[in-house]
Amino acid sequence: MGLAIGLVGLPNVGKSTTFNALTKAQNAEAANYPFCTIEPNKAVVPVPDKRLAQLAKIVKPERIQYSTLDFVDIAGLVKGASKGEGLGNKFLSTIRETEVILQIVRCFDDDNIVHNEGSIDPLRDVEIIEGELILADIEVLSNRIDRLKKQAKFDKSAASVLVMAEELLEFLGDGNLARNFKDVDTDEYRQLNNEVRFLTNKEIMYGANTDEDGLLEDNKYVLSLREHAQKNNCEIIKLCAKIEEELIGLDDDEAQEFLTDLGVEESGLEQIIHKGFSKLGLMSYFTAGVKEVRAWTIRKNTTAPKAAAAIHNDFEKGFIRAEVIAYEDFVSLGGEAKAKEAGKMRLEGKEYIVQDGDVMHFRFNI
């Protein structure tokens, strides 16, 4: 589950409603009471990419296949989750298996929707969630420090990690996220994080769940959350989960018209998907044929042979070279044949780093 985005937040803040809208299906039960979600719901969500439609206009394929992104809807956390409250240990272990955290935070008033804490206060909600994640990190780090103390007696490298780990423990104890620690770029920290997978080292995005008015202009709740996000170098994305759910039954043109009427260019969920895709270090290259126009998901800075393996492992093993046309050239020149005529198709070898949007064809020998 590593390359997944985990939806977290207090109970009843709109996580499952957001998840339903993300998946465009009522897979997650949404209800007005805490712990509606117990088992984590999982879904594979297509990554919207308008470039595929442009390629399809030229190639006229039988089908279009998008890159995808994994989302996990994790049950609402509460105070004491790190100690097992509200089935907290189970939820925390699920978060640990994801790579990016999307924290849904309620940023609107509505007397008809109960709040687990009795009032609307985004910063308090964030403090509860992140406080529990910090406490969970403190527990695993303390256990690791106990083992490091034993190893440090005969292992100099363990002694070096121990010094850093004790500083980190103090840093976490002051209520800070591990991702803001001064030594995050050191080998010692990376080694430690690989062993314990700190929850607060993960990339964090805040989903500010607003009402319709809050989409157009930041309300006081969004403003306070935005300030917190900036301090921690995190993304904040505004969305109205209720509106996003209403978009489910509309086709693309109707949905865009609906958003335009609201004064919004792109839905909050599309922003979440796009930014989440990037936070995971992912990008797409394309293949374009009459059978299929398809986006293939790879990590950024991937070489051509490794990119070929996204299609089939044999493509990497027998890789000879890649035929590459930049997306802009493919579209502006009207397809592969005209791009070749214009000298815009390149032959690239094993060292080539694939660029986002490359239109590729692989030559290989098995």
The confidence band for 2, taking pLDDT boundaries of 50, 70 and 90, is: low
Euclidean distance between CA atoms 72 and 31, whole angstroms? 18
Starting at the edge strand that comes first in sequence, how are the strands of the sheet with 359-364 ordered?
63-65, 292-299, 282-288, 359-364, 319-325, 346-348
Is pLDDT of 75 > 90? no
User: β-strand 100-106 against 235-239: which pairing, if any?
Assistant: unpaired
Give the pLDDT score at 28: 38
Determine the residue type at 344. Answer: K
User: How many CA atoms lie within 13 Å of 100's alpha carbon, on the beta-carbon side?
Assistant: 24
Average pLDDT of span 52-63 = 96
Please state which of the ranges 53-57, 69-73, 197-201 shows the lowest mean pLDDT: 69-73
Euclidean distance between CA atoms 60 and 112, whole angstroms? 49
> Global pTM?
0.83
Contact 24, 44 (CB under 8 A): no
The confidence band for 25, taking pLDDT boundaries of 50, 70 and 90, is: very low
Average pLDDT of span 147-156 = 88
At the second CATH level, the architecture of 301-364 is: Roll (3.10)
Average pLDDT of span 148-157 = 87
Give the pLDDT score at 30: 40
Q: Give the residue extent of every domain in the chain.
A: 4-278, 301-364
Is pLDDT of 86 > 50? no
User: β-strand 4-8 against 68-73: which pairing, if any?
Assistant: parallel
Higher pLDDT pick, 58 / 37: 58
Residue found under tokens 């890649």: 322
Render pLDDT for 243-291 as a digit per residue (tens, 0 to 9).
888 887 787 788 888 888 888 888 888 999 999 999 999 999 999 999 9
- R_g of the chain computed on alpha carbons: 23
* DSSP codes joined into one string, 139-166: HHHHHHHHHHHHHTTT-HHHHHHHHHHH
Is pLDDT of 113 > 80? no
Is pLDDT of 92 > 60? yes
CA dihedral 275, 279, 281, 283 (to 10 degrees): 0
Give the pLDDT score at 26: 36
Average pLDDT of span 20-35 = 50
Contact 103, 207 (CB under 8 A): yes
Render pLDDT for 328-340 as a digit per residue (tens, 0 to 9).
999 999 999 999 9
Residue found under tokens 């290259």: 285
The confidence band for 127, taking pLDDT boundaries of 50, 70 and 90, is: very high
Average pLDDT of span 291-316 = 95
Q: What are phi and psi of 135, to 5 degrees?
A: -60, -40
Average pLDDT of span 82-86 = 50
Give the pLDDT score at 33: 33
Tokens found for residue 232: 């921690």
Alpha helices in 152-251 (DSSP H): 156-173, 187-196, 212-216, 220-231, 241-246
CATH fold of 4-278 reads: Rossmann fold (3.40.50)
The confidence band for 21, taking pLDDT boundaries of 50, 70 and 90, is: confident
Euclidean distance between CA atoms 283 and 59, whole angstroms? 22
CB atoms within 10 A of CB 106: 27
Please state which of the ranges 45-59, 126-140, 248-262 shows the lowest mean pLDDT: 248-262
Q: Tell me the pLDDT of the chain averaged across its residues.
A: 86
